Structure formats: structure tokens, C-alpha cells
């Protein structure tokens, strides 16, 4: 069995980890010690097996169990502790010291755990975990094996799979994955066009239990298991489901071509005001101004704006269109309606044509009095309020109000938003957001960077002390420094978390012609092009697989100032890049006259060559453009120069290649 590693930088926790390989056997050899249906089998003394964690209990889909896999197979380990992913996160290598443990099965699924009577296997007691599970290095998240339903067999149990060309059965459309708040775990049938099927196990304790079942077709990723003779799949979070394509019967899905004549958004609003509830022939075209990655809009909603106005687009299933994407949305016969006062068009992703990365509209500068006076016309558009103050709570997720000299207005952030718990700046601020209505007028913040200025009380407040250049940090590390000097760096974010092209805890920042990677302790919401200050005093400077990073950086160390100006990419040849990587690392570069080989889509590792050399271009499987087609022929590649033991390129979106 083969698998790939997601080459995303990370650093082991601040304690010793097992680096040397102490394993004595493989997972498949260990599993061969047990006969399905028999009593638990004592594992021979001295047996050590290693594997990479592929399960994740963050979203509540797994509970007191961990699944690991190596090149030979995978196995489930029963452990009497919750929140395992805080230590044994996806991509972490672990060594299982099997002395005193048994291997058995539960209805056909092989498990490792504590000895129990007969065929039973108990959980490893909390007090014994450190004696049996040894933490290794962070290797990188496993890229799932791509299979069809007909490929599934017992050798794949307890491994991470991406099942291709599937859909939920017809009768489930309109239902939710599970029934939250005590409704019980649900079995949901996923099938292909040939009639093969698998059961998705969806827990009512999972964060995504109430998420609607997608109406399209596509892929589903999860850990394979079995119960008796029934193959089952457990997803780690809702993002493991990517079904926005057409179903077997041609319905549902999206991503096609939208035809007809363009209709202004203001015309749609005027039709509804005059009593029309069905969209006209044609399409609206605009740029997405909501931010799906920050999770501050419902997973089925986005807000789109053109030169005449904005409107909510409500899909029948979750979407992944990022902020700044330019789209056509078909209006032929779609429902136009209000939900709690907010005007929306109700459609499916099948009615959307993706035009690539667009240009975000400039936010309208206005007072709160102006916003309230022009509310209907400005609803679902971007506004900016200067010389404002936000009161009501200490974090973004509290019940807050924005006020200026002309009045006050509610702001809204979901409790589940990525930045909900972040500290809210106090004092005079500039606020950018989407004019919205949910029975009352409000401004929706898209991410933390929508509030500029003010002060915060945590972590030194983003930018105290003297400014330090990124070049100074690199010089300090080259001289043996393990921590950054006192002061702050200031630069522009050149990575794009909204396209999921980098890990949600990572970004690359550039000042002048030098850059550095930053690894936060939690997911961030600093967008591409944001100009930020980072208080680096005492922050760890370290390399992960050759890439220099500011590690264990707290969000509170960062203050996002204004929308910055992206640096002009440095034009280099592949030969210049690979021979001077330290100079270009974590900066925006451009390779002209290049050819790309190694695949037809962006996902995974591709080769970029220009006659002077070859360098890898790596795209994470979770990126929003991973499945987009790679242009053929001679191209220009704009990318972040990075390193994973060898030089590598990270593009932000498909439009970085043209």
C-alpha cells in the first residue's frame, strides 16, 4: 500500500520526541498475528510498531481511539483519553510499545488495546498511555489513497482513503449528516454510479452533525473500517466531503458554463421589491466578498458583489468558493426570497461558473448614519467605518456594537468562526465589513483583519519595541540564535489561507526582498495582502525540514494594520532559485518560460523546468484548486519559494500559473 505525505511545515512540541526508528515490525505483520473472530492475542514482548496518525478527534468524529498507518496498512488503537489530537495530531509519527498489549478485533476490525476477557480489547488506561504510545516527529499529513468503491478490500481497513466518483443516495438529499444533540449516530449510504456502496458513520457528537447532505457528486475522504460484512467510512471533518460536481443522473453539482445575458444585482433587488420572486433569464456576475475559510458565514451561503450592489447566494449544499473569487451565477428561474430580512437567491452550485481570481471591490467609506439611511441599497456590500469604536465584549465573538459620532450598529461573528475567541482591539479602530440584515441591521466581519488599529492587551500587542528586518532574523539564525531578538517585524502576507494552499496555522510574510514563514499556535485569518506587525521578542527561530520559521507564534503577537501592497514577484530562473534558496526562501518569485510536467491537475508534486533546472511545485490536496487542470505548453509561474528538505514552490491559486 502506498501513500504520500503532505509537505506542510510544522515543528514538534517543545519536548523530546523519538527520532530514531525503534520499530521491530510493520502494521500488516502485527495484524497477521490475530485471527478474526478469535480471542484477543497477546503481542510478543519487545514488539514495537510505528505509524503516522490519520484520525482526528477535533471535530468529535472519533472518540477515545487513534488510527495509525504505515506503508503496509493501518490499525486502530483503543485509548482511554479524549482530545487525543492535541498531542497525537494528524501527521504525527508514533511508536507503539506493545509489551502487555493485546491485538484483537471487534466485528472484524482489528484493534490494539489492553487485555480483556475473551475476544474483547479494552482501552489503554490514561495512566498507561505514556508507557505505550511514544511521540515521534511530525512527518506530515498523509495524502489519502485514491480509490473507487470497487477497489475496497480488507487490506485497506484503518487507512485513509479518498473515494472517487460517489454521491449520497437520493433519499438522503435534504437530510443532515447526523441528528445533533442526542439524535444518535447515523448510517448514511454513499454510492457510485454502478451500484456499489459504503456506509458513512456520522456521530451526533460531531461538530458537523447538523450539516446538510450535499446534493452533488464527487469524492469523500475518511478512515475505512468494517462492521461484520459492512464496509464503513468515518470522516474527520466536513471538509472531507467534496461533492459539488454532477450526480450520476446529471443533476446537482456545479462548475459548468453559465450562458445568457448578464443581469445587474441591483436589477434583481428591484424585481423583488416589485413583487417578483423568480429570477430572470441570464446571470449575475461578481466577486465573492464573504470568507468561507473564516467560518463566519453559514456553509451554504456566500455574498457576491458587482458594480451595482450585492446579494446573498444560498446554495442547497456547502460550497468552497473563496473570498475574491469571480463567479457567474445563473438566475434562470431561481427563487428570490428574504430570510430574516436578508435578500438572497436560492440555487445550487451547478448554476455557478468559476471565472478565477477576481479583484475585491473597494469598501465604501461611510458613517453609521449613512449605512442606516441607505441600508436597502447597500445591503450585502462592503463598507468601511473610520474613527469607530467597538464595545460590548473583549473578543470578536461577543455581542458587540460598532459606534461612531453618527450612531451605532451591531457587529456579528459566529461563535464557531475561526477568529471568534481572538481579543478585540479597544480604542479607535477602522472597521470593514458586509452590510447585512438578520431581523435587524448589522455588519458582518469577514475575518480578524476587518478591524484595524486600536490596542490589545495580549502578547505584547503586535509590534512593540524597535523594528527588526526579516533579513536580520535570518542573519541571527545563521549565527546560531534560537530565538528572535527584541522588537517586531512588519511586512505583507504573501500566502493565501482562503485557498487552503497553506496549513491554516501557517503564513509567509515578506518585507522588501526577504521573507520568512510563521507558524501560529492556532488557525489564523490574516488574508493575502494584509500588512501586519509581528512582535517577535523571544519567539522561537527554528527550521523544519530546512524551512526557517517563527515558531509557536501567538495570534495576540500580531496586529494587522492596513491592506498592504503585494510585493512584485522577483523574476528568477530555476537554476538561480535552487542555487540561492536561502536568499529567496519565503518570498514571491516568478519563473518565466517554464514547462510543467508530472500530472494533469495541480494536486501533489509537479516538476517545473525552464532549461536551467527543475524544481518541485507542491499543492496540498485540500487546496480549493487542487483538482483544476494544469495549463500545457510554456507558462509563467508565480509562487512562494519554500523548502521541504529540497527547494519547492507553493502557488496560491491556479491563476498563479498562466
Q: How far apart are CA 578 and CA 576, in angstroms?
A: 6
Q: Provide the CATH topology of domain 4-143.
A: OB fold (Dihydrolipoamide Acetyltransferase, E2P) (2.40.50)
Q: E strand or H helix at 407, and its extent?
A: strand 407-412
| Mean pLDDT taken over the chain | 89
Q: What is the mean pLDDT of residues 65-86?
A: 93
How many CB atoms within 10 Å of residue 42? 14
Predicted confidence (pLDDT) per residue in 359-395, tens digit: 788 899 999 999 999 999 999 999 999 999 999 999 9
Q: Does domain 265-357 have CATH number 2.40.50.140?
A: yes
pLDDT of 250 strictly over 80:
no
Residue 491 burial (10 A CB sphere; 0-12, 13-18, 19+): buried
Strand partners, 226: 231
Q: Kindly calculate the radius of gyration of the chain based on its CA atoms and give it in whole angstroms.
A: 26
Instruction: Look up the CATH number of domain 470-563.
Output: 2.40.50.140
- Decide if domain 157-245 falls under CATH 1.20.120: no
- 561 pLDDT band, cuts 50/70/90, is low
pTM confidence score: 0.45
User: How crowded is residue 565: how many other Cβ atoms within 10 Å of its Cβ?
Assistant: 9
Domain boundaries defined on the chain: 4-143, 157-245, 265-357, 364-455, 470-563, 570-656
CA dist., res. 53 & res. 73, Å (int): 12
Q: Output the nine-digit C-alpha cell for 301.
A: 451561503
364-455: CATH class: mainly beta
pLDDT score for 44: 96
Do the first three CATH levels of 265-357 and 470-563 match, i.e. the same topology?
yes
Query: What integer pLDDT is reported at residue 181 of this predicted model?
Result: 64
The average pLDDT across 300-305 equals 95
CA distance 302 to 310: 11
CATH homologous superfamily for the domain 570-656: Nucleic acid-binding proteins (2.40.50.140)
Question: Mind listing the pLDDT tens digit for each residue in 593-640?
Answer: 999 999 999 999 999 999 999 999 999 887 888 889 999 999 999 999
Lowest pLDDT segment from 62-66, 114-118, 251-255, 554-558: 251-255
Contact 208, 238 (CB under 8 A): yes
Q: pLDDT class for 216, splitting at 50, 70, 90?
A: confident
Question: Residue 273: which H helix or E strand, with range?
Answer: helix 265-273
What integer pLDDT is reported at residue 536 of this predicted model?
93
State the number of CA atoms in the 13 A half-sphere of 302 facing the CB: 28
Q: What is the pLDDT of residue 253?
A: 52
Contacts of residue 570, defined as CB under 8 A and 6 or more positions apart, other chains included, come to 513, 584, 587, 588, 589, 590
Amino acid at each position: 500500500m502506498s501513500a504520500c505525505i503532505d509537505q506542510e511545515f510544522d515543528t514538534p512540541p517543545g519536548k523530546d520526541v523519538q527520532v530514531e526508528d525503534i520499530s521491530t515490525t510493520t502494521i500488516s505483520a502485527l495484524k497477521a498475528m490475530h485471527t478474526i473472530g478469535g480471542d484477543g492475542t497477546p503481542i510478543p514482548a519487545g514488539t514495537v510498531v510505528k505509524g503516522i496518525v490519520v484520525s482526528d478527534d477535533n471535530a468529535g468524529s472519533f472518540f477515545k481511539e487513534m488510527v495509525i498507518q504505515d506503508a503496509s496498512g493501518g490499525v486502530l488503537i483503543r485509548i482511554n483519553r479524549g482530545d487525543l489530537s492535541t498531542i497525537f495530531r494528524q501527521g504525527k509519527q508514533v511508536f507503539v510499545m506493545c509489551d502487555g498489549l493485546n491485538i484483537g478485533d471487534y466485528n472484524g476490525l482489528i484493534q490494539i488495546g489492553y487485555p480483556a476477557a475473551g475476544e474483547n480489547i479494552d482501552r489503554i488506561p490514561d495512566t498507561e498511555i505514556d508507557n505505550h504510545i511514544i511521540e515521534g516527529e511530525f512527518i506530515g499529513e498523509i495524502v489519502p489513497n485514491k480509490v473507487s468503491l470497487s477497489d475496497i478490500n480488507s487490506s485497506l481497513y484503518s487507512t485513509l482513503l479518498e473515494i472517487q466518483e460517489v454521491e449520497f443516495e437520493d433519499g438522503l438529499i435534504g437530510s443532515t449528516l447526523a441528528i445533533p444533540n442526542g439524535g444518535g449516530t447515523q448510517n448514511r449510504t454513499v454510492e457510485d454510479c454502478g451500484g456499489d456502496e459504503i456506509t458513512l458513520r456520522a456521530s451526533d457528537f460531531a461538530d458537523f452533525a447538523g450539516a446538510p447532505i450535499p446534493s452533488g457528486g464527487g469524492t469523500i475522504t475518511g478512515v475505512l473500517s468494517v462492521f461484520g460484512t459492512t464496509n464503513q467510512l468515518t470522516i474527520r471533518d466536513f471538509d472531507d466531503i467534496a461533492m459539488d460536481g454532477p450526480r450520476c443522473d446529471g443533476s446537482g453539482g456545479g462548475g459548468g458554463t453559465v450562458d445568457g445575458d448578464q443581469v445587474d444585482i441591483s436589477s434583481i433587488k428591484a424585481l423583488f421589491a416589485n413583487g417578483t420572486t423568480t429570477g430572470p433569464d441570464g446571470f449575475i456576475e461578481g466577486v465573492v466578498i464573504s470568507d468561507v475559510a473564516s467560518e463566519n458565514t453559514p456553509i451554504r451561503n456566500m455574498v457576491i458583489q458587482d458594480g451595482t450592489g450585492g446579494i446573498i447566494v444560498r446554495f442547497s449544499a456547502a460550497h468552497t468558493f473563496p473570498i475574491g473569487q469571480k463567479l457567474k451565477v445563473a438566475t434562470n428561474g431561481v427563487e428570490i426570497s428574504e430570510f430574516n430580512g436578508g435578500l438572497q437567491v436560492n440555487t445550487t452550485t451547478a448554476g455557478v461558473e468559476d471565472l478565477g481570481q477576481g479583484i475585491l471591490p473597494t469598501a465604501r467609506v461611510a458613517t453609521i448614519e449613512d449605512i442606516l439611511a441607505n441600508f436597502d441599497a447597500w445591503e450585502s456590500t462592503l463598507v468601511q467605518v473610520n474613527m469607530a469604536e467597538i464595545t460590548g465584549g473583549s473578543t470578536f465573538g461577543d455581542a458587540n456594537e460598532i459606534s461612531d459620532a453618527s450612531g451605532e450598529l451591531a457587529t456579528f461573528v459566529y461563535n464557531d468562526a475561526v477568529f471568534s475567541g481572538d481579543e478585540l482591539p479597544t480604542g479607535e479602530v477602522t472597521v470593514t465589513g458586509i452590510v447585512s440584515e438578520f431581523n435587524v441591521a448589522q455588519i458582518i466581519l469577514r475575518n480578524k483583519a476587518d478591524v484595524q488599529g486600536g490596542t490589545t492587551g495580549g502578547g505584547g500587542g503586535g509590534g512593540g519595541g524597535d523594528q527588526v528586518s526579516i533579513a536580520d532574523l535570518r542573519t541571527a539564525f545563521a549565527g546560531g540564535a534560537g530565538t528572535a531578538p527584541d522588537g517586531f517585524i512588519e511586512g505583507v502576507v504573501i500566502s493565501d489561507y482562503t485557498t487552503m494552499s497553506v496549513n491554516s496555522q501557517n503564513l509567509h510574510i515578506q518585507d522588501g526582498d526577504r521573507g520568512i514563514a510563521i507558524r501560529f499556535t492556532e488557525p489564523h485569518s490574516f488574508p493575502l495582502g494584509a500588512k501586519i506587525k509581528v512582535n517577535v521578542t523571544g519567539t522561537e527561530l527554528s527550521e523544519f525540514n530546512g524551512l526557517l520559521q517563527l515558531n509557536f507564534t501567538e495570534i495576540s503577537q500580531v496586529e494587522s494594520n492596513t491592506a498592504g501592497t503585494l510585493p512584485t514577484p522577483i523574476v528568477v530562473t530555476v537554476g538561480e532559485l535552487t542555487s540561492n534558496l536561502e536568499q529567496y526562501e519565503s518570498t514571491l518569485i516568478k519563473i518565466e518560460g517554464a514547462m510543467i510536467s508530472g500530472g494533469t491537475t495541480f494536486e501533489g508534486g509537479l516538476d517545473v523546468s525552464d532549461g536551467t533546472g527543475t524544481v518541485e511545485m507542491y499543492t496540498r490536496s485540500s487546496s480549493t484548486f487542487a483538482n483544476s487542470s494544469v495549463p500545457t505548453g510554456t507558462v509563467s509561474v508565480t509562487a512562494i519559494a519554500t523548502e521541504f528538505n529540497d527547494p519547492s514552490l507553493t502557488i496560491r491559486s491556479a491563476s498563479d500559473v498562466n
